[in-house]
Amino acid sequence: MSRTPQPSRLNLTALAQGEQVLAGRTPLADLARLAAEVPPEAAAPADIRWDIRVEWRPRSGASDELWLHLEAGAEVPLSCQRCLAPAVHSLEVDRWFRFVESEAVAEAEDDESEEDLLVLEPQFDLLALLEDELLMSLPLVPMHAQCPSEPVFRAGEDEAPAPARPNPFAALAQLKKKAD
């Protein structure tokens, strides 16, 4: 039986010298900041699927560089900002990263690098990177393409639930009222 590497504690240099690729699934609940975006009434989301590829790239006159490609996909229920019911959004990540030896180098080279820079750690936390990237791919205003129903009052509630975020049109209307 082969040992499955822990995605939160990966030895990337060893991986780059071996199979170079690794794929897995992670329960959304394991990524606490992302899980906090999921409305409690939503059906349990499917696991996040991810795969990575790591490779050494030679440089002339300098030591080889370690690169990582991350691809991931997740179906995440988010609160629709129109009807407030959970709306499932597909999040996708497809990105290259280059490892540097220190934060100082990362800061110095960040401006002229198209790829993202990461500091190489002996135990790389892939789940932290995965969560950061998924959080950045969240839609600004989650919404159904077509809401399943007009907002309705649920039984036992005599008032409509307050919207999770202020409606920008309502805010605009307020401004206009003040200007009059």
Q: Which long-range contacts (CB under 8 A, 24 or more apart) does 161-164 make?
A: 161/84, 163/81, 163/84, 164/79, 164/81, 164/84
Binding track over 130-149 against Zn ion, x by CB under 5 A: --------------x--x--
Instruction: Tell me the residue number closest to Zn ion, measured at CB.
Output: 80
Can residue 88 be called a binding residue for Zn ion (CB under 5 A)? no
Q: Rule CB under 5 A: which of 47-86 touch Zn ion?
A: 80, 82-83
Q: Give the footprint of Zn ion on residues 93-122 (CB under 5 A).
A: none
Cα torsion for 55, 59, 62, 65, to the nearest 10°?
-20
CB 97 within 8 A of CB 52: no
Cβ 80 to Zn ion shortest distance, Å:
3
Taking CA atoms, 38 is separated from 30, 89, 131, 151, in Å, by 13, 11, 14, 19
The minimum distance between CB 142 and Zn ion, in angstroms, equals 9
Q: How far is the CB of 82 from Zn ion (least distance, A)?
A: 4
Q: How far is the CB of 143 from Zn ion (least distance, A)?
A: 6
Q: For the CB of residue 151, give the shortest distance to Zn ion in the complex, in Å.
A: 8
Considering the complex, state which of residue 80 and residue 129 has its C-beta at the smaller distance from Zn ion: 80
> What is the CA angle 112-114-116, rounded to 5?
105
> Binders of Zn ion: how many residues, by CB under 5 A?
5
Q: 74 pairs with which residues across the strands?
A: 91
Q: Which residues bind Zn ion (CB under 5 A)?
A: 80, 82-83, 144, 147
